[in-house]
Structure 1
C-alpha cells in the first residue's frame, strides 16, 4: 500500500469513527489486562491523539499513561480487541529450574495498519507491534516517580544508582529500577528477531524515557518484583522466545563448569610453568576429569595471532597440538572449546570452519571481538548460533556482544556471553559493589560469562594482567554459583584449587542442569544470597557482599524437607578484600529444613554452603 492510499484509509476510518461516536454507536476504547494472580494491571486507553498504557502493581501506579505505538503511519486506530488466557509449562533443556510455569493473560489490539499485542504475567508484562515494517516507535516509559535506576555499561561498572530525573542522553538496557523497598522494575527486550537492539533516551529533568533505537521485531519488556531477586529468578524474557525448531535435537547440550587456559598463562607450580600449549592443556584436562568438570576452554592465538588475517582457524598455529588435545580429552570424556574471532570468522568461510570444529569433536565455540553495527552484530550472532547448533557446538560470545534476549530457549546451545565486565578481563578487575550490581542488571538479560572463581588472589607471574583480585577467596567461589551461566568458566590452575579442598568441593558440586533456583535475599549494589539445587539433588547456597561487612541469616525454608550435612565456608574474622583475601573458616554442622544458617561476610567477601541430604 503506497503512502497516498494509507493516508486515504486513515482519513476514512477517522470519519467513520467520528460519526459512530456522534450517534452513540462507539465509545472510547479502554481495556485493562491483569496478571493471572490479579496483582498487576496494564490499562490501555485510546485518547484523542494516541493509544496509551499505564502500569499498576499491588495497587500502586508505577508507570503513568505512556504512549504506545509506531510513528509514520498515523494514529493507531483501534478497531477491535480480544483477550485470552494461556497456562502451560516449559521444560528447558537447562536453565534456572527444571519446570517453568508459562502463565499469562494476553490482549490483541487490531488496528488498520498494524496490531499491538500485550501479555501480562505475574512477574511483569510485554508488548510488541505486528504487521508493519515502520522503523520508528513512539513507545514511552513515563515512570510515576523520581525512582532510582541502574543501567548496563559495557565492560565497565554499571551506571547508577541514578535518579531518573538526573539521567541524560542514551541509556542501554538492562535498565533496573527501584521505586521503593517493595517495588522493582526492569526494562529490556525479548526475541529480537531483526532490527536495532534496544536503546533508551532519558529526557533529562523528567521521569520519561523513550525508545530511540530503530523499531525492531521484538518484545518490549517490563519485569516486576517485590524484591530485586524476584526479577533475577524470572523467566519472562525466555518465555517470550519461541521453542526450538522441531527438527533440531538439543539433548546433547550439557551445561556445567569449565576450566580456561587464558588466565593460567605464566603461572608456576611445583616447577611447572603453565602456557597455552599442549602440556598445560593436558594437565587442565586431567584436573577436569578428576573433579567432575565438563570442559576446557581454549582462548585466543591457538591458530596464530588472533588479529592477523593470515591466521587460518583450520590450519594455522598450534593446530597439531589441538588435534592431539581433542583426542586426549575425548578419551576422558572432557569437552574442548575452541576460540574464534571476527577476523578469522570473516576472512575464512565461517560455515566450513564451524562444521570442521564439529567434525573434530569440539564441545563449543568461544567467539570474540565481533565487528559491525549492533544490528549487524545481532544478525551475525544469530547465524553463528544456528551454525553451532547444527554442528552440536555450544557457543559463548565475548568482547562487547549483543545483549542476551532469551535465545537460550530457542537455541539451548547459546549457554553464555560476556554481557558484563568479566573478572580479570579487559585488563582490569572489578570491585565488590560492581558484582552485586551486575547480578541485578546485566544478569536479568540472560546467562553471563564473568569468569569468577580465582583462588590465587595475587595473580603473580600471569602473562595477561597480573593484578591482585579485589575480593576474597570465599567470595570468588560464591560468585561461581550466583552468576547464572550454562558454562561457568573458572580461571585458575589445578594446584591452586587443590590447596583449598573445601572450596574445590563446593565448585565441583555445581552439577547442572539446575533443578531449582531461588534468590533468597539481597539488595542492588549491596549483597545477594542465592540457592540452587544441583542435578544430583544437592543444595548449594552462596552469598556475596559489596565493600561493607555484614552478617546474614539464611532461612532454610527454601530447600527440600529433611536433614543435611552442611559444609559452610565463610570469611575469617580478619578477612578483608583489601588486606587479607585468603582467610576463611569451614564448619560442618547438621542442619534441617526450616532452620537458619548465620554467616559472616567480610568487606568484599562471601560465603558458600553445600547441603548434602542425610535423611
Structure 2
C-alpha cells in the first residue's frame, strides 16, 4: 500500500511540474552497483561517464558527438575521509528562465542532473545541451586538496585569460608548463570547441588551473571551493559565446530582493574627456563638463554618466572621504540634474575609501542620494578574500538599488548576474582605455571568445576621435582601431553598461556612428554570434528592446571581406544602414575613413562588407 501511495505521489508531482513548464522526476538507487554511471545532455549529444576503480579512485570522461575529448580524469577531494558510494539519484529539469537583462529575453533551462552520494561528500553533476558541470558538496573548508583533472584526449590548442594583458595563446596543451587562469578556451578541431571555467563561486578561492610541460593534463592549482566546474561545448566558437550555462548554474534571485529597477544601457564617461578643448570650452572632471555630458546623453537616449576617480579626493588618499570629500557638493548637483534628464549617475569608489569608511553606510548613502551605480577599483586581499568582499559589496549594492562594476584585477565573473542582476559588468579583460598598454586588434577578437564567456565585460570601446590629443588621461599610444571598428566593438562586447569614452563633439562629427551606438537599447531581446574564429574576427548580431537589429563585425590585424547572411531576420523588409571602413582606413595610421550606404533588405539577403586592418563594420536594421 505504501509503495502505491509513493508512486501516485511521484506521478502527481511530475504532472504539477510539467504544468509549470518544468519536469523533474527523481530516480534513486543505492548499493555498490552505482558505477559506472553515465549522464547525458537532453539532446543526447554530450555524455559524462564516471567510473570507480578497484583502488577506490573515481574518474570521468567527456564525450561530445561520439568523440571523446576528456578521458580518464580524476575527480574527488582529499582530507575528508575515503569516499564510499552509498547511493545515486537523478532528475531532469525542463524550464524557461526570463532574465532581468542579458543576451536574450528568454533562455531555455534544460538539464539532466545526477547526484552521487559518497558518504563523506557528494558529487552533483548536470548535463546541458551546451556543456556539462559538476561540483562537490562538502563541509566548508574541510577538504585539503581538489583532485579534479582535465585529461584531454589530444594535444589541442588553447587560449587563456591573462589579467589586464593580451590573452595567452594560441598555445598547444603540451607546451603549457605553468598555472593558467580561466576562462580556458580550447579548439579540438574545426567542428569541436570547449571552454573550462567555474560557476556560482559562493565561497572559497577562485579557480586556477595547473599543468606540466609535455602532457595534455590540467589539474586544480587553487584550494577547494564549492563552485561548479564547467566544461562548455560548441561546434563553433560562437556557440560558446552565445551559451548561458555559466549563468544557469547560479541560483535565481532571492524573493526578498526586487530587481525591477535594474536597467542596462550605454554610459558616457568623464575620465578620458579631461583636457579636451572644443569651441572655447575645456573639459575636466567637474560640474560644467558633467552637465554637458548629461545633456548629450539625454539628447541621444544614453542612460548613464559615469564619474571616475578623485571626485571625493585623491583616490588612494587615506583621508579621502567618499561621503564628504572633494567635489561631493557638485556630485549632489549633477545627480539632481541628471534626474531632470532621466540620466543616472555612477560614482567611483576606491578600495582605500571603501575600507577606511564603513562600506555599508557608504553604499546606503549613495543609494539615498539617488546614485545609479558604483565602479569599485583596486580591491586588495587574497583571491578568496576578494571573492568574499566582491559578493558582499554586490549584495549591499542590490539592497541599495545600485548597479556595480568591478575594475582593476577583479574576481572573475561566474554567472552571478543571475542571482544579482545589478552585477552588470567587470573589467575582466584588457580594457581598451583604462590601462597603460596597447590593445592589439587580435587581442580584442581573442578576448570575446575567452574572457567574455565568463560574463559581461567593461572594455571602454567606442572612441569617435582616434587622435585623442590634449587629453590628461589619454594613453601615449595608438588606439589601434578604426572608427567603424570602434563602434562595432561597443556592440560585440557584452556588458550591462557599455561605457563610451569620448566627448560629445567627437560623436556629433559622425552622426551615423552616433546613431548606431545610441540605438543599442537594452535589455537585448536576442543575441547571435553569426560567425568568427578565435583571434581572427567576429560578427555579432543583437536585437534591441525596440526590435531594431544591430550587427557589429571586427577583425584582427588583417583586412578581410565578409558575406553576412540575414537569415535571422523576421519576415518583411528592413531599412539597412551600413557603416564600413573606407578604402584608406587602417588601424596603423589612425585613418578615420569610413563610408555609409543604405539599402532595403530581407531575410534572404546577404550583406558584403570590406573591413580594414584592425577595423570593422556596423549595420543597423529597422523595419
Per the normalisation by structure 2, the TM-score is 0.93
- Of stretches 400-409 and 460-469 in structure 1, the one that deviates more from structure 2 is 460-469
- The alignment status of 1:159 with 2:168, answered yes or no, reads yes
Name the residue aligned to 1:87.
94
Structure 2 residue aligned with 1:224, among 209, 217, 233? 233
Name the residue aligned to 1:268.
277
Q: Deviations over 1:303-330 (max 9, x none)?
A: 0011001100011001111111111111
- The alignment status of 1:370 with 2:379, answered yes or no, reads yes
CA distance in 2, matches of 1:73, 1:319: 53
CA distance in 2, matches of 1:169, 1:349: 39
- The alignment status of 1:117 with 2:124, answered yes or no, reads yes
CA distance in 2, matches of 1:509, 1:28: 55
CA distance in 1, matches of 2:500, 2:122: 46
SS of the equivalent of 1:193 reads coil
- Cα offset, 1:580, TM superposition: 4.6
Q: Deviations over 1:75-115 (max 9, x none)?
A: 42222212221111110000000000000111111112111
- Cα offset, 1:398, TM superposition: 0.4
- Cα offset, 1:28, TM superposition: 7.0
SS of the equivalent of 1:395 reads strand
- Cα offset, 1:203, TM superposition: 2.0
- Asked if structure 1 preserves the Cα contact closer than 8 Å seen for 2:81 and 2:120, the reply is no
| Mapping 1:31-180, distance limit 5 Å | 31-49=37-55, 50-132=57-139, 133-180=142-189
Name the residue aligned to 1:458.
467
CA distance in 1, matches of 2:80, 2:335: 56
- Asked if structure 1 preserves the Cα contact closer than 8 Å seen for 2:34 and 2:87, the reply is no
CA distance in 1, matches of 2:143, 2:75: 14
SS of the equivalent of 2:78 reads coil
Name the residue aligned to 2:27.
none
CA distance in 2, matches of 1:238, 1:455: 33
Name the residue aligned to 1:444.
453
- Cα offset, 1:74, TM superposition: 4.3
Q: Deviations over 1:159-181 (max 9, x none)?
A: 00000000011100000000101
- Cα offset, 1:591, TM superposition: 0.4
Name the residue aligned to 1:30.
36
- The alignment status of 1:589 with 2:588, answered yes or no, reads no
CA distance in 2, matches of 1:486, 1:466: 29
- Asked if structure 1 preserves the Cα contact closer than 8 Å seen for 2:414 and 2:455, the reply is yes
- The alignment status of 1:482 with 2:478, answered yes or no, reads no
- Asked if structure 2 preserves the Cα contact closer than 8 Å seen for 1:183 and 1:224, the reply is yes
Structure 2 residue aligned with 1:355, among 364, 373, 397? 364
CA distance in 1, matches of 2:149, 2:591: 46
- Cα offset, 1:561, TM superposition: 2.0
CA distance in 1, matches of 2:96, 2:600: 36
Name the residue aligned to 2:215.
206
- Asked if structure 1 preserves the Cα contact closer than 8 Å seen for 2:466 and 2:590, the reply is no
Name the residue aligned to 1:608.
618
CA distance in 2, matches of 1:363, 1:197: 29
CA distance in 2, matches of 1:248, 1:26: 44
- Cα offset, 1:270, TM superposition: 1.3
SS of the equivalent of 1:532 reads strand
Aligned residues: 589
SS of the equivalent of 2:567 reads helix
SS of the equivalent of 1:231 reads helix
SS of the equivalent of 1:384 reads helix
- Asked if structure 2 preserves the Cα contact closer than 8 Å seen for 1:258 and 1:488, the reply is yes
- Cα offset, 1:72, TM superposition: 2.2
Structure 2 residue aligned with 1:332, among 341, 357, 361? 341
- Asked if structure 1 preserves the Cα contact closer than 8 Å seen for 2:481 and 2:590, the reply is no
- The alignment status of 1:576 with 2:583, answered yes or no, reads no
SS of the equivalent of 2:135 reads strand
- Cα offset, 1:290, TM superposition: 0.2
Structure 1 residue aligned with 2:318, among 282, 287, 309? 309
- Asked if structure 2 preserves the Cα contact closer than 8 Å seen for 1:528 and 1:545, the reply is yes
Cα RMSD of the aligned pairs, angstroms, is 1.0
CA distance in 1, matches of 2:246, 2:196: 11
Per the normalisation by structure 1, the TM-score is 0.95
- The alignment status of 1:553 with 2:563, answered yes or no, reads yes
Name stretches of at least 5 consecutive residues in structure 1 with no aligned partner: 1-24
Name stretches of at least 5 consecutive residues in structure 2 with no aligned partner: 1-30
CA distance in 1, matches of 2:468, 2:522: 29
- Asked if structure 1 preserves the Cα contact closer than 8 Å seen for 2:569 and 2:602, the reply is no
- Cα offset, 1:26, TM superposition: 5.0
Name the residue aligned to 1:5.
none
- The alignment status of 1:502 with 2:519, answered yes or no, reads no
- Asked if structure 1 preserves the Cα contact closer than 8 Å seen for 2:179 and 2:211, the reply is yes
- Asked if structure 1 preserves the Cα contact closer than 8 Å seen for 2:480 and 2:590, the reply is no
Q: Deviations over 1:375-422 (max 9, x none)?
A: 000111011101111110000000000000001000000000100011
CA distance in 1, matches of 2:225, 2:377: 25
CA distance in 2, matches of 1:369, 1:395: 14
- Asked if structure 1 preserves the Cα contact closer than 8 Å seen for 2:433 and 2:459, the reply is no
- Asked if structure 1 preserves the Cα contact closer than 8 Å seen for 2:84 and 2:119, the reply is yes
- Of stretches 424-433 and 155-164 in structure 1, the one that deviates more from structure 2 is 424-433
Q: Deviations over 1:580-606 (max 9, x none)?
A: 531111000100012111111110010
